[in-house]
Amino acid sequence: MAVIVQKYGGTSVGTVDRIRNVAQRVAKRWREGHKVAVVVSAMAGETNRLIQLVHDTCSTPNMREYDVVISTGEQVTIGLMAIALEAIGVPAESFMAHQIRILTDSVHSKARILDVESSRLQATLQNGKVAVIAGFQGLDRQGDVTTLGRGGSDLTAVAIAAALGADVCEIYTDVEGVFTTDPNICSNARKIDRISYDEMLEMASLGAKVLQTRSVEFAKKYGVPIHVLSSFVEKTGTYVVKEEPAMEKVLVSSVTYNRDEAKISLRKVPDRPGIAAKVFTPLAEANIVVDMIIQNISREGYTDLTFTVPKSELARALEIIRATAEEMKVAEVLTDEHVSKVSIVGLGMKTHAGVAAKMFDTLAKEGINIQMISTSEIKISCVIQDKYTELAVRALHDAFQLGEEGGSVSQERL
Amino acid sequence: MAVIVQKYGGTSVGTVDRIRNVAQRVAKRWREGHKVAVVVSAMAGETNRLIQLVHDTCSTPNMREYDVVISTGEQVTIGLMAIALEAIGVPAESFMAHQIRILTDSVHSKARILDVESSRLQATLQNGKVAVIAGFQGLDRQGDVTTLGRGGSDLTAVAIAAALGADVCEIYTDVEGVFTTDPNICSNARKIDRISYDEMLEMASLGAKVLQTRSVEFAKKYGVPIHVLSSFVEKTGTYVVKEEPAMEKVLVSSVTYNRDEAKISLRKVPDRPGIAAKVFTPLAEANIVVDMIIQNISREGYTDLTFTVPKSELARALEIIRATAEEMKVAEVLTDEHVSKVSIVGLGMKTHAGVAAKMFDTLAKEGINIQMISTSEIKISCVIQDKYTELAVRALHDAFQLGEEGGSVSQERL
C-alpha cells in the first residue's frame, strides 16, 4: 500500500471523455489499495482562452487579477474529475490552493511554493478518499490567489508528493517517458529507464520539454522519485531519481537540441577589467536571460565577445547592446539567428575526458562547424548552424550508441 | 460621500466590451467620491456552459463538486472587471467568497448566507479602492465552496450591502426598473418610482422576474434600500424600500401574471378530517411546491379539492396524486394545463375591501371566467383560462388606472 501522487496535464484532461478515462486509471490504483492524490491542469486550450480574455481587457493587466482569472481553469478540472470518480464509485474530494494552503510568495504569475499544509489532504486519504488537487495555483500570505507559471502543475504535484512523503510522483504526459533524444528526429531514440535528477535538470534546461527544471529541482531537494509516463498507453515510463552507482557507468545518456537561441557578437571590444559587467548588467536588468558566453583571448588590447539569448528576446537585447557598444566604442555588433545548440548529457562525463573529443570529432566528420562550446560537469553544448541540427543529433546519437539495447557507450568501450 | 454596492448581471458583463462599459460607470461613481463595492455575475452563457460540462461528466453529479465547477464563472468576471478598472486609473481589488468569508450553510447549489465578515472589504474601501466581489458563491464552515442558486448574485449584493451598512444596493439589469405590469403586454405600463419590500415580495413570487424573493427578504430583514435600474440607460429606476405612509394611499401598484402553473382537481373526495394532509404530505415529501389550494364546502359527505403546481412538476405530481386518490377512493382526478394566474398587488388593499370586487367585475365584463381565487393582505390572485392572460392583464391595468401619471386609483377615487 503506497502513497501515490499522479499528475495529468491539459491534453490528458482535454475533454470530458478523457477526464473519464483518467478517472478509470486513478480508480485502478485506488482499488489496488493505494492512497492516491491526483493533481490536474486546466483542460487543453482553457488557459489560453483565459489569457486571451485578460489581454482583450487590457494589454498590461494587473497581475494579481490576472492570476484570479487564469487559476479558474484548474478549478473546473478538479470538480469534473471528482465528479467522474464519484460516478464510478470512487469517493473523491477536490481541493483548491486555499483549502490545503499551498503557500507561495506574492510574485503573481510566477510564484514560488514556500510550504504545503498537508493535514486536510492526509485526512482525506486516511478516510479512503482520492484527493483531487488543482495544479498551478497557490495562495500568498494575504490570502490572495497566485499562479506558478508554465509547468506549474508539475511543480504542484512534486510539492504535494513531498508534503505527503509519497512513494512516487507520477507525471502523465503525451509521451512515453524521457528519450535518449527526440524520436521525431531520430527513429531509433530509446526510452530511458532511470535517470538522475542532475541529468534531467541539464536536459530540461537544454531543451528537452518533458519536465521543467523547477519541478526537477524541487524533487531533487526533497528526494521525491518522479515517474514520467504516458497517459494514453499503459507502460512503465522513465524514473527520475537520486544518482545511483550504475548511472556513472553511462557516459552519455541523451542528446538534446534547442533552436530557440540567437547569437550576438561584439567585435573588437577594448579589453580592460569590467567590460563583461558593462555588457551584461543592462541585459540582466531588462530580465533577458543570457545563455552561453564566450570571450576570446585578447589581441592587441582588443577582444571579441559572443553570447546567445532566446530568439524572442533578440530585438530587445540588440537595442540595449547597441547603446552599450557605442559607449564602449566597439567596432561592430554582429547577430546570427540561424544557430542551434546541440548538447550531450551524461553522469559518466564527470570522470572521463574522451567524451568531448568524440563529440567534436563526430561533428567534424559530418562537416559541421562548431561556433561556440560550453561545458559543465555532466554536459557539453555546441552552437552550430541551425540547418545541421537534425544531422548533428542523429550523428551524435549514433556515435554514442544511444539507440542500442543496454544503453550508451560505457567507459570501458570508449 | 455614500457607500454604494452595485450589482451587474450576466448580460451586463457578457463581453469584454460590456465589462469595460461597466467599469466606466463604476469609475464615475468612484470619481464622485463615493465608496463603491461591485458584485458581478458570470459572463452571460458561462454558467450554462459549466453546467453542461458537469452534466456531460455525470447526470447526477456530486453537488460539492458541482459548486466547485460552477463558481468559476464569477471568478473570471471579477478578475476581468478589476483589470478593466485599473486600466482606466481606478484602483481595484477582486474578492472571492473565501477571501471575505461569505459564510453559508453546506447545502450545495442552494446555500443560505449566514454571515459576511466585512473587515477586509472595509479596509479596501477605506484605502480608496473599488472592491469587486464574486456573486453567487459562498464558503461553508469546512472551507468548501458553495453556490447560492439562481439569482444568487443579487443576494450576494444585498448581503454585502447589509454588512457594509451601505446607503444603497444598486441592482443593474436589462430593464429600467419595476413596472406596473409587463410592458410587452401592456404598452402603457409605467415604471414604479418607489415600492415597499412587501409589495416587491408578492410581485416576485407572483411572476415578476426582476428580483428574486430571497434577495428582497434579506433586504427587508436588514433594511437595505434596493435601487433596480438599467445597466444600458442612465436613468433613475425603482427604489425598493421600507413601507412609507404615502404608499398605503395606492390601492394597487401592479398587475402580474404567471403562465407556469397547472391545475389538478380531485372530484368527490370523502370529506373527513385529515384528507388535506393525506393529499399534500406526499407532494411536500417529493419537494413539489403547491401554490393555490381550494376546497369547496362539503355536499353529501363529499368535497372537491383543487390546487396548482408548476407545469414542469405536473407529471411527477400526478403520479403521486393518482396513488393517493386510489387509496382514498376519489371519484376522479382532473388536470388542466391551460391555466394562468393573474394577480394584483398593492399595500392599500389592507384597508379597503372594494378592490377585490373591482377585480372580479373587470374580468367578468371581459367575459373571463374565474376558476380559482386566492388572497393575502396585499394581493388578489385569480386563475383563469390561459388564452385570456393578456386581455385580463390589460383590462386590470386599465381598470386600476396604472398607466396614468400619478399612480393608480387612490382610495378616495375608488
pLDDT of residue A204: 87
A contact test, residue of B19, B81, B83, B95 with most A CBs within 10 A: B83
The percentage of residues in chain A with a pLDDT greater than 90, rounded to a whole number, is: 76
Domain final residue, candidates B174, B190, B218: B174
pLDDT bucket at A96, cuts 50 / 70 / 90: very high
Residue A184 falls within a domain, yes or no?
no
> How many domains does chain A divide into?
2
A68–B78 C-beta distance less than 8 A: yes
Q: Looking at CA atoms only, how far is residue B41 from chain A in angstroms?
A: 14
Per-residue pLDDT at B235 exceeds 50: yes
Domain final residue, candidates A145, A174, A203: A174
Query: Distance (Å, rounded) from C-alpha B78 to C-alpha B19?
Result: 10
Q: Which of B82, B110, B108, B101 is nearest to B19 (CA)?
A: B82
pLDDT of residue B82: 98
| B118-160 pLDDT, tens digit each | 999 999 999 999 999 999 999 999 999 999 998 899 999 999 9
Our CA angle for B315, B212, B386, nearest 5°, is 45
Could you report how far apart the first and last alpha carbons of chain B are, in Å? 43
**Residue ranges making up the domain that contains B97:** 3-174
Query: Given the DSSP bridges, would you call strands A92-95 and A130-134 parallel, antiparallel or unpaired?
Result: parallel
pLDDT of residue B407: 52
- Identify all chain A residues contacting B67, using CB atoms and an 8 Å cutoff: 79
Let me know: does A350 contact A406? Beta carbons within 8 Å: no
- Please tell me whether residues B305 and B391 are part of one structural domain: yes
Let me know: does B349 contact B251? Beta carbons within 8 Å: yes
Which candidate from A58, A72, A143 shows the least CB-CB separation from B99? Answer: A143
The enclosing domain of A43 has a CATH number of 3.40.1160.10
B contact test, residue of A80, A86, A127, A139 with most B CBs within 10 A: A80
The percentage of residues in chain B with a pLDDT greater than 90, rounded to a whole number, is: 76
Our CA angle for A81, A85, A86, nearest 5°, is 120
- Identify all chain A residues contacting B84, using CB atoms and an 8 Å cutoff: 57-58
- pTM (2 d.p.): 0.85
Helix (H) or strand (E) holding B376: strand B372-376
In this prediction the ipTM stands at 0.83
Read off the DSSP letter of residue A235: S
Let me know: does A77 contact A134? Beta carbons within 8 Å: yes
A16–B56 C-beta distance less than 8 A: yes
- Please tell me whether residues B249 and B165 are part of one structural domain: no
- Please tell me whether residues B159 and B252 are part of one structural domain: no
pLDDT of residue A141: 95
pLDDT of residue B411: 43
- Please tell me whether residues A36 and A139 are part of one structural domain: yes
Residue A65 falls within a domain, yes or no?
yes
- Please tell me whether residues B159 and B301 are part of one structural domain: no
Mean of the per-residue pLDDT values of chain B: 92
Q: What mean pLDDT is predicted for residues B87-104? A: 96
Interface of B with A (CB under 8 A): 16, 19-20, 50, 53-54, 56-58, 60-62, 64-72, 75-76, 78-80, 82-84, 86-87, 92-94, 96, 98-99, 143-145
- Please tell me whether residues B116 and B19 are part of one structural domain: yes
3-state secondary structure of A106: coil
A80–B57 C-beta distance less than 8 A: yes
pLDDT of residue B263: 94
B79–A69 C-beta distance less than 8 A: yes
- Please tell me whether residues A157 and A277 are part of one structural domain: no
- Please tell me whether residues B294 and B379 are part of one structural domain: yes
Which residue of chain B is at minimal alpha-carbon distance from A86? B62
Residue B226 falls within a domain, yes or no?
no
Residue A403 falls within a domain, yes or no?
no
Domain final residue, candidates B149, B174, B199: B174
How far out from the chain centre does Cα B61 lie? 26
Per-residue pLDDT at B414 exceeds 90: no
Question: A44: which residues sit within 8 A by CB, 6+ positions away?
Answer: A10, A11, A13, A14
B65–A83 C-beta distance less than 8 A: yes
B contact test, residue of A76, A109, A146 with most B CBs within 10 A: A76
- Please tell me whether residues B129 and B36 are part of one structural domain: yes
pLDDT bucket at B299, cuts 50 / 70 / 90: confident
pLDDT bucket at A376, cuts 50 / 70 / 90: confident
| B332-376 pLDDT, tens digit each | 999 999 999 999 999 888 877 788 889 999 999 999 999 999 888
Which candidate from B65, B83, B96 shows the least CB-CB separation from A79? Answer: B65
- Identify all chain A residues contacting B86, using CB atoms and an 8 Å cutoff: 58, 61-62, 65
Which candidate from A56, A83, A94 shows the least CB-CB separation from B16? Answer: A56
A68–B82 C-beta distance less than 8 A: yes
pLDDT bucket at A299, cuts 50 / 70 / 90: confident
Query: Distance (Å, rounded) from C-alpha A373 to C-alpha A360?
Result: 10
pLDDT bucket at B406, cuts 50 / 70 / 90: low
pLDDT of residue A409: 45
Conformational region of residue B105, where left means phi above 0, alpha means psi within -120 to 50, and beta covers everything else: beta
Helix (H) or strand (E) holding B132: strand B130-134
B66–A145 C-beta distance less than 8 A: no
Q: Looking at CA atoms only, how far is residue A288 from chain B in angstroms?
A: 26
Per-residue pLDDT at B206 exceeds 70: yes
B57–A68 C-beta distance less than 8 A: no
Residue B181 falls within a domain, yes or no?
no
pLDDT of residue A22: 96
The 3-class secondary structure across B314-359, one letter per residue, is HHHHHHHHHHHHHHHCCCEEEEECCEEEEEEECHHHHHCCHHHHHH
Per-residue pLDDT at A19 exceeds 80: yes
Which candidate from A57, A75, A78 shows the least CB-CB separation from B80? Answer: A57
Q: What mean pLDDT is predicted for residues A305-333? A: 92
- Please tell me whether residues B253 and B149 are part of one structural domain: no
B144–A62 C-beta distance less than 8 A: no
Which candidate from B16, B57, B72 shows the least CB-CB separation from A19? Answer: B57
Residue A370 falls within a domain, yes or no?
no
- Please tell me whether residues A160 and A291 are part of one structural domain: no
- Please tell me whether residues B132 and B278 are part of one structural domain: no
The enclosing domain of A308 has a CATH number of 3.30.2130.10
A19–B143 C-beta distance less than 8 A: no
- Identify all chain B residues contacting A144, using CB atoms and an 8 Å cutoff: 99
B contact test, residue of A62, A90, A129, A139 with most B CBs within 10 A: A62
- Identify all chain B residues contacting A20, using CB atoms and an 8 Å cutoff: 57
Q: What mean pLDDT is predicted for residues A313-342? A: 93
Which DSSP string corresponds to B154-203?
HHHHHHHHHHHT-SEEEEEESSSS-BSS-TTT-TT--B-SEEEHHHHHHH
Let me know: does A312 contact A287? Beta carbons within 8 Å: no
Per-residue pLDDT at B409 exceeds 60: no
A57–B87 C-beta distance less than 8 A: yes
Mean of the per-residue pLDDT values of chain A: 92
- Identify all chain B residues contacting A83, using CB atoms and an 8 Å cutoff: 54, 57-58, 61-62, 65-66, 69
Residue A129 falls within a domain, yes or no?
yes
pLDDT of residue A413: 41
| A144-181 pLDDT, tens digit each | 999 999 889 999 999 999 999 999 999 998 889 999 99
Q: Which of A257, A248, A155 is nearest to A194 (CA)?
A: A248
Residue A211 falls within a domain, yes or no?
no
Count of CB atoms situated within 10 Å of the CB of B44: 16
Starting at the edge strand found earlier in the chain, the sheet holding A332-336 runs A293-295, A302-310, A261-270, A332-336
Q: What mean pLDDT is predicted for residues A357-373? A: 93
| A212-270 pLDDT, tens digit each | 889 999 999 999 999 999 988 889 999 999 999 888 888 899 999 999 999 999 999 88
